[in-house]
């Protein structure tokens, strides 16, 4: 059983690493000035007490986001 739990944790770590790399790449492309860099992110929200975060789609650009 211990081996199964270790494999599950590694899979989760790989997913987290992939998401971090993808977001970092999008941020760097936005800073470079590439147009149309669109990504999703979890954003903190106080609108609904049962939903502290929600997904927001945004466009990255130099020193701004929309």
Q: Where are the domains of the chain?
A: 2-65
Residue 42 in contact with residue 53, Cβ under 8 Å?
A: yes
pLDDT by residue for the chain (66 residues), tens only, comes to: 454 455 566 677 788 888 889 889 988 888 888 888 888 888 888 777 778 888 888 887 766 555
Task: Enter the pTM of the model.
Answer: 0.59
Q: What is the pLDDT of residue 10?
A: 65
pLDDT at 7: 58
- If one counts every other C-beta atom within 10 angstroms of the C-beta of residue 29, the result is 16
pLDDT at 3: 45
Separation of alpha carbons 63 and 21, rounded Å: 20
């Amino acid at each position: 059983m211990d081996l199964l739990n270790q494999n599950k944790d590694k899979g989760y770590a790989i997913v987290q690493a992939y998401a971090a790399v993808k977001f970092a790449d999008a941020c760097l492309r936005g800073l470079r000035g590439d147009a149309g860099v669109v990504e999703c992110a979890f954003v903190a929200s106080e609108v609904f007490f049962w939903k502290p975060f929600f997904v927001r789609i945004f466009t990255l650009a130099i020193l701004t986001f929309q």
